[in-house]
Homo-oligomer: A and B are copies of this chain.
């Protein structure tokens, strides 16, 4: 199992002893999924918080009308789950699919609690992770409220140049909250 990447992700915010490191590693499991497979489906129990070692994933919501809305993309070194349902033990509201072959390191809910209890430093780590996730979502809400589709698209290109390379326009459109047809029209008029 490849753990150096996840350990340096963690080391960005907290320092672990060797013992703490091995304990953490004992709690995570590695999973490799082929392209276009499910990491999670709506209504399933959301068992895992996943760190993306490599690959690309997308979480999305399907409303009653059947329309997909992309909640987030996760590429190498990102964390992904249906956070609300993972933390509150509720059936998942979202789907998570692989966009290419992906390897993830996972921790289940019980072990997550054990980890926080045994190594309180992880409270700090996840506080910072949640903090960043919160402010990122808040900025996204602000942008959705105050910008046009064109501006949001330009901002997405600028903010996530790596993701742009790994996902389709249809998926970007559903992240921006517009139709693929309209995104296509926007792209045409700019170039």
Residues of A near any B CB (own CB < 8 A): 61, 63, 67, 69, 71, 83-84, 87, 93, 116, 120, 123-124, 126-127, 130-131, 133-135, 137-142, 144-147, 174, 177
Contacts and interface: CB of A to CB of B under 8 A. Distances in A.
Given A69-B142, A83-B138, A126-B127, 11 more contacts: A71-B138, A84-B135, A84-B139, A87-B131, A116-B124, A120-B120, A120-B123, A123-B124, A133-B134, A134-B137, A137-B141
A163 B87 CA distance: 26
A145 B177 CA distance: 5
A89 B139 CA distance: 16
A83 B134 contact: yes
Contacts of A120: 120, 123-124
- How many copies of this chain are found per oligomer? 2
Given A83-B134, A123-B123, A124-B120, A141 B141 contact: yes
Contact of A130 (B84, B131, B144): B131
Given A144-B141, A146-B67, A123 B127 contact: yes
Contact of A137 (B87, B93, B116, B137): B137
Contacts of A123: 120, 123-124, 127
15 contacts: A67-B146, A71-B141, A83-B135, A83-B138, A120-B120, A120-B124, A123-B127, A124-B127, A126-B131, A127-B127, A130-B131, A130-B134, A137-B138, A137-B141, A144-B145
A157 to B, nearest CB: 19
Contacts of A133: 130, 134, 138
Per CB-CB distance, the 3 closest pairs between chain A and chain B, nearest first, are A137-B137, A130-B130, A127-B127
A127 B177 CA distance: 30
